[in-house]
Amino acid sequence: MTDSLTHSDADVRPPYDDRLTNEDLAPLRHQRWGSYNFFAFWMSDVHSVGGYVTAGSLFALGLAAWQVLVALLIGISIVYVLCNLVARPSQATGTPYPVISRVAFGVLGANIPAIIRGLIAVAWYGIQTYLASASLVVVALKLWPGLAPYAEAEAYGFAGLSLLGWAAFLAMWVLQAAVFWNGMEAIRKFIDFCGPAVYVVMFLLAGYLVAEAGWGAIDLNLVDVTITGWAALPVMLTAIALVVSYFSGPMLNYGDFARYGRTFAAVKRGNFLGLPINFLAFALLTVITTAATLPVFGELITDPVETVARLDNTYAVVLGALTFMIATIGINIVANFVSPAFDFSNVAPQRVSWRAGGMIAAVGSVLITPWNLYSSPEVIHYTLDTLGAFIGPLYGVLIADYYLVKKRQVVVDDLYTLSPDGTYHYRKGYNPLAIAATAVGATVAMLVVLIGSADAAAFSWFIGAGLAFAGYLALSRLKGR
């Protein structure tokens, strides 16, 4: 089956409603991104401090290294398939995620998934900005040790962050805003640079540490292998779920970028290179680097910024820290800046432009004081699981509707009209079936997070997505009969 895109009238199209469109939300006239751009997108998404720590932590679950690699391969392959599914409707129509969501949720109901995704992105935008600023603090202290007192929040601090931390955070905030303000073409060029730059530094860092330690002193099992046989299966499944959850945010709104693809084949090629191939290579490089810190520094270091800070060469420390800082900025822009920009613009297109939507997210990221959130592992744990609980149902409804209910047929012009005769008007602009399926999926998934075990909570994305997918499909077929 091929995608069917139709317009209300082949010659004279109706004017798009001002409440539903602006220059940024309208279908693209030119789609120019090729495979490398999507490959670079995923490199920027993977090659960050968070990606480094996440990949390294999976090798410390008590499994053998080969079992972790199998879990990583399965998990990232699932992400690859899911990303291709969510990319297709946006690439075919040239529309961003909140607009293509109108097909399932209704022209006004799409504000529900847009706001949910936007608010989640605001929180993580702040956390990633804080992580990038931590790298800048490392550089500042290495170059000017006299600043050390100003890095103490107790002596010189406000709202839980030191004076030096505030300066670094605001510097990162302005830098990211400047890249974003120059538009998607500037973002494309930036992420084209970020991913490869981190690889260069990672190879240099790994090569140096391996040379210092000697290959024989490196054990890829970061902890003693304590789980063997069939007992390893549930732990591997948890690792698979964690990989999917880690990518659940950018995966949901991947249409914001896939819409720029010249062809769907180009998107798939970029996804294949950037996900299964790139992620496994990065994971191997991460575990080799992490494992080498034990014989070189006498302790296992999972934070790459801390690793480069231990080096004796000032130039190496500055280069390494700056590179990881840039990489974190890259993932922050693609995962947590572009998404709320489209999402908030979708709520009031004539009042909130794409740039204004992004700046709303940027301001919100400061107000939530993300360093306080990040300081509590328990809060981060619940945030990740809650993210999966809400994002999963939105994904499930979108996929069920596009592929099985609408069978890949989209009337593009009707995505931008409030006419009661429009295909996606449903009930006063809202599709109650999609909203109900999302509510049920999110509620059950959140109950698992709140009252279930930590192991069960790791599967919140799958629980929410599966329930919403099945529920929406069942409701739609009952209504059809």
Mean pLDDT score, 36-62 = 77
pLDDT per residue over 339-350, tens digit each?
A: 788 888 888 888
| DSSP-derived 3-state class of residue 229 | helix
- The region of weakest confidence among 9-23, 119-133, 174-188 is 9-23
Residue pair 388/445 in contact by the 8 Å Cβ criterion: yes
The HSE-up count of residue 229 (CA atoms within 13 Å, CB side) is 1
Question: Which stretch of DSSP H or E encloses residue 307?
Answer: helix 304-309
pLDDT tens, residue by residue, 277-314: 998 888 888 888 888 888 888 887 877 777 887 887 77
pLDDT digits (tens, 9 = 90+) for 166-210: 998 888 888 888 877 877 777 778 777 777 877 888 888 888 888
The answer, yes or no, to whether residue 124 has pLDDT greater than 80, is: no
Residue 342 is predicted with a pLDDT of 84
| Residue 21, phi then psi, degrees to nearest 5 | -150, 155
The predicted model gives 236-250 an average pLDDT of: 85
The better pLDDT of the pair 73, 472 is held by 472
Dig out the tokens for 157 from the structure. Answer: 């601090």
The whole-angstrom separation of Cα 189 and Cα 333 is: 12
Burial of 53 (0-12, 13-18, 19+ CB in 10 A): middle
Average model confidence (pLDDT) across the chain = 84
* Residue 122: C-alpha distances to residues 351, 364, 369 (Å): 19, 6, 11
Please name the helix (run of DSSP H) or strand (run of DSSP E) that holds residue 311, with its range, or none.
Answer: none
| Confidence band of 7 (pLDDT split at 50, 70, 90) | low
The mean pLDDT of 112-138, rounded to a whole number, is 83
Diameter of the chain by CA atoms?
A: 74
- 11 pLDDT band, cuts 50/70/90, is very low
Residue of 239 and 447 predicted with greater confidence: 447
Residue 375 — pLDDT band, cuts 50, 70, 90?
low
Helices (H), 94-162: 97-100, 102-105, 111-143
Cα→Cα distances 179→132, 174, 189, 287, Å: 15, 9, 10, 32
Contact 365, 98 (CB under 8 A): no
For the entire predicted model, the pTM comes to 0.86
Mean pLDDT of 406-411: 93
- Distances in Å between the alpha carbon of 401 and those of 229, 232, 432, 472, 475? 40, 36, 13, 8, 11
pLDDT at 9: 41
Q: How far apart are the first and last CA of the chain?
A: 23
Per-residue confidence (pLDDT) for residue 10, from 0 to 100:
36
Residue bearing tokens 């069978």: 407
Q: Let me know how long the chain is.
A: 481
pLDDT at 353: 79
Does residue 378 register a pLDDT over 70?
no
Q: Is the pLDDT of residue 450 over 80?
A: yes
List pLDDT tens digits, range 77-121: 999 999 999 999 999 999 999 999 999 999 999 999 988 888 888
Query: Residue 376: pLDDT band by 50, 70, 90 thresholds?
Result: low
β-bridge partners, 5: 410
Asked if pLDDT for residue 214 goes beyond 70, the answer is yes
Nearest-angstrom CA–CA distance, 165 and 185: 31
Q: Are 185 and 192 in contact (CB under 8 A)?
A: no
Coil vs helix vs strand at 427: strand
Query: Which pLDDT score, from 0 to 100, does residue 392 have?
Result: 93
